[in-house]
């Protein structure tokens, strides 16, 4: 029997760890070789669920013979954990946003390079079937050259550390700008130049930015807007919403990454909900990471991609504070 | 009975003429267009007299109201001439192309003691009204995030292609999304600051614009308009209002009463949204103005409100050209 690729999960602080772990279970030649979580209760529970070993300290997990780790700590911790993992020669898949500041992102990328491991950003939307189809249509020239893109990534407000800027690096602008800023950069194939942002604590009264509009401009002149608001109230029928309206010289593409749903009316519970029947992208993301671990190839969506997407969120906060357009500060590596 | 004379027998002229037919206390006595055929075809609707020269119509007919449906760049000239002759004026939106012209029109209407209104018809669209009612009844709490779209193909159909000449129409920011600027301004609050992006005629026969507004009450808005859709695209409007306690969404395409599919050699799908007689928005705005003239009451859409919407549009144009946000000065009239 061929040996399975051993992957460790570092923390379930970010709930995506759960869907990533489930996706890992569906990959024949991969196994979850251990789970580290500073929260003992959560960690042992998850280790039991995924039938693997629990570690209180992630550094102990890093001492084992893993090939790669999935980092789902709070955003602030991404840097330290990823650097430690890289120093132990493990490939790293880090949850988005890649980091919370330029300096951390640079450290992470450098650690990966120094240790000759691959660092990848968890952008599942890059593996979403609708998004992939859109990219194919764009590259085939079906809508001509892209002129501008209007994006919406609405969702419900998260809880816990997400609402603590010291751990999350910000509110909705940090949390929800990056999916779209990554996809747009990938579609447009140019780097970000300028950013303008209006945001604030407007609807949920949690003392953190929960609504935001980010206007961006690329080096090649294409412009775009990203609505990163946690705009959905609790009874909204679905989570999340990732939409793009892409205007090209020969046509328009409307992409709704999570549109494949059906509606359920539950009379007993008096609820109405839309459930997705399409796989969101987690599966492809995890499969890619396992491939990276197996072969050491360059990931389809890299750490640098994650860092570039984060630059937009950072510039957005600068813009909002100063009420002016700001030039995007680019990472130096 | 209120006697109405209409100038400009194009798209809007026809819409208005059809509306008067259903307004019992209005009598469309004269219609004027430099194109005889157009004038005659519209005169047929109510058996109106036909004129090629506006001055002749003014002299020969016993007019109470002049209805101005000519291209925007001529609004001021004909409005002032009508007011000078002490006629009440209904002017299609946008009021004018510059604040100077617009203010002059408002001031002159006051000086001549005639009623003056501008066709900000979105206020009369049933779906938009219903949303405003819901907000008024507190159904979604305090509105904080507003998104609107107004998308169509390039307006090639107009007389002399005047829409395509931004000197005459102002382009989509001034001509198209001024509808939404007025709606937002009037119902959700005055605008403090505008940041806008637009192709500004850079692409051939295509334009697309987005404006991010910060309202004085802190809410933010994203207003989108398009002249970039492929020829033959369905005209589509949407809005989304997110409040502190809920949200409202509307999409004209998703709430159409009729979807028609036919194949006469090639397949065509059309979407129709016929409204109940009493809800037809163009008729409603004209009826209200006619009643107001008859009963000598205050107009619903005042000239100064139209100036405000224009001010937002002009700030958006300035921002889209300079790449910087524009803070609105207190508007003077
Ligand atoms: N409220 C709305 O929803 C709405 C929609 C479309 C247009 N509009 C506005 O209505 C106005 C007219 O637009 P339209 O689409 O009907 O334009 P159009 O090009 O269809 O019609 C303009 C008409 O004016 C006539 N005309 C030109 N110069 C004239 C003159 N000196 N005297 C008499 N007639 C003259 C032309 O022959 C033509 O028939 C514009 O200000 C436009 O912005 C409003």
Task: ipTM value, please give it.
Answer: 0.94
Residues, chain B: 333
Predicted pLDDT of residue A3: 85
Nearest alpha-carbon partner for A230 in A305, A281, A159? A159
Please give the Cα distance from B200 to B220 (Å, whole number): 23
A-chain residues near B215 (CB < 8 A) = none
CB-based contact (8 Å) between A209 and chain B? no
Predicted pLDDT of residue A332: 84
Extents of the domains making up chain B = 2-119, 123-282+310-328
A251:B224 CB<8 A: no
Please give the Cα distance from A108 to A91 (Å, whole number): 12
Dihedral sign for Cα A141, A146, A147, A148, please.
positive
Q: Could you report the per-residue pLDDT of B120-166, keeping only the tens digit for each?
A: 999 999 999 999 999 999 999 999 999 999 999 999 989 999 999 99
Q: Could you report the per-residue pLDDT of A269-287, keeping only the tens digit for each?
A: 999 999 999 999 999 999 9
Residues, chain A: 333
Predicted pLDDT of residue A307: 98
Q: Could you report the per-residue pLDDT of A172-217, keeping only the tens digit for each?
A: 999 999 999 999 999 999 999 999 999 999 999 999 999 999 999 9
Query: For B182-195, b where at least 16 C-beta lie within 10 A, e where not — what string?
Result: bbbbbbbbbbbbbb
Cβ atoms within 10 Å of A238's Cβ, excluding its own: 17
A203:B144 CB<8 A: yes
Please give the Cα distance from B147 to A151 (Å, whole number): 12
Q: Given a cut of 90, is residue A145 above it in pLDDT?
A: yes
As given in the structure block, the two tokens for residue A308 are: 């570039």
Please give the Cα distance from A226 to A182 (Å, whole number): 11
Please give the Cα distance from A280 to A257 (Å, whole number): 8
Interface subset of B 182-201, CB within 8 angstroms of A: 193, 195, 197, 199
Nearest alpha-carbon partner for A204 in A176, A179, A232, A177? A232
Predicted pLDDT of residue A316: 98
Q: Which CATH class is domain A5-123?
A: alpha beta
Cβ–ligand 1 distance for B6 under 6 Å, the answer: no
CATH of A126-281+311-327, one of 3.40.395.10, 3.90.1150.10, 3.30.360.10, 3.40.50.970: 3.30.360.10
Q: Could you report the per-residue pLDDT of A222-250, keeping only the tens digit for each?
A: 999 999 999 999 999 988 899 999 999 99
Tokens 């998850």 found at: A46
Q: Is B3:B11 a contact under the CB 8 Å cutoff?
A: no
Q: Is B190:B308 a contact under the CB 8 Å cutoff?
A: yes
Please give the Cα distance from B278 to A174 (Å, whole number): 47
Looking at domain B2-119, its CATH superfamily turns out to be NAD(P)-binding Rossmann-like Domain (3.40.50.720)
Nearest by CB to residue A147, choosing from B224, B228, B233, is B228
Ordered per-residue pLDDT tens for chain B, 333 residues:
999 999 999 999 999 999 999 999 999 999 999 999 999 999 999 999 999 999 999 999 999 999 999 999 999 999 999 999 999 999 999 999 999 999 999 999 999 999 999 999 999 999 999 999 999 999 999 999 999 999 999 999 899 999 999 999 999 999 999 999 999 999 999 999 999 999 998 899 999 999 999 999 999 999 999 999 999 999 999 999 999 999 999 999 999 999 999 999 999 999 999 998 889 999 999 999 999 999 999 999 999 999 999 999 999 999 999 999 999 986 444
Please give the Cα distance from A53 to A319 (Å, whole number): 45
**Pairs of CB atoms within 8 A across A/B:** 96
Cis amide prior to A240 (ω within 30 degrees): yes
Looking at chain B, the whole-number percentage of residues with pLDDT higher than 90 is 95
Predicted pLDDT of residue B157: 87
Taking the CA of residue A271 and the nearest CA in chain B, the distance in Å comes to 16
Q: What confidence category does residue A1 fall into, taking pLDDT thresholds of 50, 70 and 90?
A: low
More confident residue, B329 or A94: A94
Please give the Cα distance from B261 to B121 (Å, whole number): 29
Predicted pLDDT of residue B81: 98
Query: For A252-282, b where at least 16 C-beta lie within 10 A, e where not — what string?
Result: bbebbbbeeeeeeeeeeeeeebbeeeeebbb
Interface subset of B 195-254, CB within 8 angstroms of A: 195, 197, 199, 202-204, 206, 208, 210, 212-214, 218-220, 222, 224, 226, 228-230, 233, 240, 242-247
Looking at domain B123-282+310-328, its CATH superfamily turns out to be Dihydrodipicolinate Reductase; domain 2 (3.30.360.10)
Predicted pLDDT of residue A304: 98
Predicted pLDDT of residue A258: 95
Cβ–ligand 1 distance for B8 under 6 Å, the answer: yes
Q: Residue A137, SS3? A: helix
Q: Residue B1, SS3? A: coil
Q: Residue A218, SS3? A: strand
Burial class (CB in 10 A: 0-12, 13-18, 19+), A332: exposed
State in Å: Cα B252 to ligand 1 middle. 24
Extents of the domains making up chain A = 5-123, 126-281+311-327
Average pLDDT over residues A21-34: 96
């Amino acid at each position: 029997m061929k040996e399975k690729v051993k992957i460790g999960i570092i923390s379930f602080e970010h709930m995506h760890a759960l869907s990533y772990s489930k996706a890992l279970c569906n990959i024949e030649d991969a196994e979850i070789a251990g789970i580290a979580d500073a929260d003992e209760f959560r960690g042992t529970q998850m280790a039991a669920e995924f039938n693997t070993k629990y570690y209180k300290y992630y550094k102990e997990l890093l001492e084992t013979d893993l090939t790669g780790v999935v980092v789902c700590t709070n955003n602030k911790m991404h840097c330290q954990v990823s650097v430690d993992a890289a120093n132990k020669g493990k490939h790293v898949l880090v949850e988005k946003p890649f980091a919370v500041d330029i300096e951390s992102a640079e450290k992470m990328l450098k650690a990966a390079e120094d240790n000759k491991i691959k660092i990848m950003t968890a952008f599942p939307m890059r593996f979403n079937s609708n998004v992939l189809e859109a990219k194919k249509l764009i590259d085939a020239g079906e809508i001509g050259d892209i002129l501008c893109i209007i994006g919406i990534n609405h969702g419900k407000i998260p809880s816990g550390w997400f609402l603590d800027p010291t751990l999350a690096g910000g509110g909705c602008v940090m949390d929800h700008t990056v999916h779209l800023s990554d996809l747009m950069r990938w579609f447009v194939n140019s780097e970000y130049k300028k950013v303008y942002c209006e945001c604030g604590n407007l609807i949920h009264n949690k003392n953190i930015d929960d609504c935001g509009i980010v206007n961006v401009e690329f080096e090649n002149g294409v412009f775009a807007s990203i609505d990163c608001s946690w705009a959905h109230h609790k009874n909204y029928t679905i989570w999340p919403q990732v939409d793009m309206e892409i205007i090209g010289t020969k046509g328009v593409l409307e992409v709704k990454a999570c549109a494949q749903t059906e509606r359920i009316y539950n009379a007993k519970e008096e609820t109405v909900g839309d459930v997705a029947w399409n796989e969101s992208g987690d599966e492809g993301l995890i499969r890619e990471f396992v491939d990276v671990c197996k072969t050491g190839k360059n990931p389809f969506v890299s750490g640098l991609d994650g860092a570039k997407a984060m630059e937009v969120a950072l510039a957005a906060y600068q813009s909002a504070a100063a009420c002016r357009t700001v030039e995007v500060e680019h990472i130096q590596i | 009975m209120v006697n109405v004379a209409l100038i400009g027998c194009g798209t809007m002229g026809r819409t208005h003429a059809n509306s008067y037919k259903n307004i019992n206390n209005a009598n469309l006595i004269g219609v004027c267009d430099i194109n005889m055929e157009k004038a005659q075809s519209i005169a047929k609707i109510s058996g109106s007299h036909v004129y090629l020269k506006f001055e002749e119509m003014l002299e020969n007919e016993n007019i109470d109201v002049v209805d101005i449906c000519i291209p925007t760049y001529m609004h001021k000239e004909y409005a002032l001439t009508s007011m000078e002759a002490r006629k009440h004026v209904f002017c299609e939106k946008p009021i004018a192309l510059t604040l100077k012209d617009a203010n002059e029109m408002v001031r002159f209407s006051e000086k001549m003691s005639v009623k003056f209104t501008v066709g900000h018809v979105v206020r009369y669209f049933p779906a938009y009204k219903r949303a405003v009612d819901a907000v008024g009844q507190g159904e979604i709490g305090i509105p904080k995030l507003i998104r609107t779209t107004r998308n169509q193909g390039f307006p090639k159909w107009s007389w002399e292609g005047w829409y395509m000449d931004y000197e005459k129409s102002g382009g989509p920011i001034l001509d198209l999304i001024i509808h939404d600027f007025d709606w937002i301004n009037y119902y959700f609050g005055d605008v403090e600051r505008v940041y806008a992006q637009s192709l500004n005629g850079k692409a051939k026969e295509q334009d697309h614009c987005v404006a991010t507004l910060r309202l004085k009450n802190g809410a933010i808005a994203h207003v989108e308009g398009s002249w970039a859709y492929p020829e033959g695209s369905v005209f589509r409007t949407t809005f989304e209002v997110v409040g502190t306690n809920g949200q409202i969404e509307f999409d004209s395409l998703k709430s159409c009463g009729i979807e028609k599919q036919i194949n006469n050699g090639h397949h065509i799908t059309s979407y129709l949204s016929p409204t109940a007689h009493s809800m037809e928005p163009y008729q409603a705005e004209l009826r209200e103005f006619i009643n107001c003239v008859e009963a000598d009451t205050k107009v619903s859409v005042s000239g100064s409100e139209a100036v405000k919407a224009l001010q937002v549009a002009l700030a958006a144009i300035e921002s889209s050209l300079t790449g910087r946000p524009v803070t609105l000065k207190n508007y003077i009239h």
